[in-house]
Structure 1
Amino acid sequence: MISLDPSHMNKASATSHAVERLPDFIIGGAMKSATTTIHSLLSHHPEVFIPKGEVLYFDVDEIAARPDNFSKINNEWLFPEYDSPQMSDWYRSHFAEAKEHQLVGEDSPTYLASEKAPQRIRNTLPDVKLIFTLRDPVERAYSHYWHYVRTGRVFFNFDDTIRYSPGNIIQRGFYRVQLERYLELFDASQIKIIIFESFIRDPAQHLTSICDFLNINHEVLDFTESHFNPGKVPRWLSPQLMINRYLRRYAGRNQIERLPLQFKGVEETLWTKFLRRVHRTINPWSLQKPPKMASNTRRFLTRLYSKENRGLSELVGVDLSKHWNSIE
């Protein structure tokens, strides 16, 4: 059990909670690499308490990781402040229902790639256990792109997105430098690496190893509940990108509205809601594979990630060439 430093507590919260709980473990990403599946399976474990959904706290004010949290309202730029008592209380409130015998956890697909999160986690949770999932970065980037298509965050095809606005989609696959930041701050025994491609072949084996890492009983988990959060693809990409551009001011509204802020996301009008509904009728999404990535784009990304992740196999102690094409 981890107690919050009293200096971060206001008087009201100190008197209303006998014992403050914070995470014993964090599922920290990478994005589109089965973090949701691991979260879902562990949430059914009687020895574990993990809030529904992603908390996304330690990088809440990092614009590169959480651009949706920055909003311009009435000609004023507003954003959440990580070090405010309000944000600290909000984070702590997610774990208030944990029972005394339960391990407490949280899940964020963005902490691994964040530049701010490692030190903040170390300052707040020095003994925390960290679970990171790594996926072939080329496949991860393409899956990430289609996630952004669905959520209205990209306005170009994949090649043009890489060319004009690579940002999170490309950089989140630079695993070596990301893991090095954590290894500078945490003992290697506190970090568990899961390779996505191996995980989807045998989730039971890997969930057992995660339970062993957390020192909880693996026999109570029902591995038949495994799912891998498949994403839907629009029938036609170009119309979807057009509607994304038109409705871009509303993208990420759900993210900002979940934070304890005085301001909220831009409210959709009846017209935009109607337009979105009509578009979804004409251009429906379905559970199907996206079109193949252009071969020259795949070659470029393979070269890029092979260079950026050189030495990653030695760092994680796994021969990643057996799982990925984009590694030397």
Structure 2
Amino acid sequence: MTARHLDGPVIGLDLGGTKIAAALVGAGGTVLARHTLPTPATRGAGVVLDTMAEAARAVWAPGTTAVGVAAAGVIDPVTGTVTSATDTIRGWAGTGLAAGLAGRTGLPVACDNDVRAAAATELDGPDDDGTLIYAAVGTGVGGAVAAAGRMLHGAAGIAGHLGHLPSPEADGLPCTCGATGHLEAIAAGPAITAHCARLGGRPADRLQTVAERAAQGDPYATEAITLGARATGRALGGLANALGPHRVVVAGGVPRIGALYWDALCTAFAAELMPPLRALRPRHPRGGADAAVLGAAALPHTLPLHQPETTGAPS
């Protein structure tokens, strides 16, 4: 889509399962104000929209032109709706995200998936014609794909959901989407933690505990981490053969647990590559903690704007 010029600052909202981050973003990506609220994930979509509007009002300033929303779930930017979602946020699937928030804030709203918005910060502006694969491995496994410098959205906004690629390592394991055998079921943080216990290790409450045990030589923790890493590396390597990317970025909390994970992922990735791609290696994201809100604030410049005085029809 053609970029549009907005004269004033934009509010960027990053909606996750645990928190809502808001930022007022000015020219050149300068963050002018910030605010964070916990996500009322168990109280229904209406309460979530109310809380998002509250976070937006906390950073609003005179001259604010629009709101960009980077949200969990499968987001269709054209209709402004959540077309599919897990139960991380209760009742989120089917929500009229753009229309609901436009009505609550009085500002035009553009929306997209949170990982896709963050991935856009890896592109080098309108002249970037490269192909990018971006994976986010954390509580779930998300992703995004850009071709010729443009994010792919696909039917109903579903493009890039890498966590739902079939994975031999996850054979028979239930996925959060309701299917079985998907990458997320073995590679996400909670999945690695659960697999450690299945292998015979002591139950753990979080991935960091598993990582600490692996650092101390625990064989169950080591195997669970490396299996999740190998599954992710293999899936990304196969996808690289299909798409021929110039860059592969792996973000999220899981890759930050240490070299054991990262080395296993990179080794598995490299083993899958066809000869023309042999020099390609995954890399960490270059954006910092603000990547999601900055990506959200960029959305109104390129995606359909849903106006508050309409029923959600984009402009």
- Interval containing the TM-score (normalised by the shorter chain): 0.3 to 0.5
Higher Cα Rg, which structure = 1
TM-score (norm 1): 0.33
Normalized per residue, the structure richer in helix is: 1
TM-score (norm 2): 0.34
Normalized per residue, the structure richer in strand is: 2
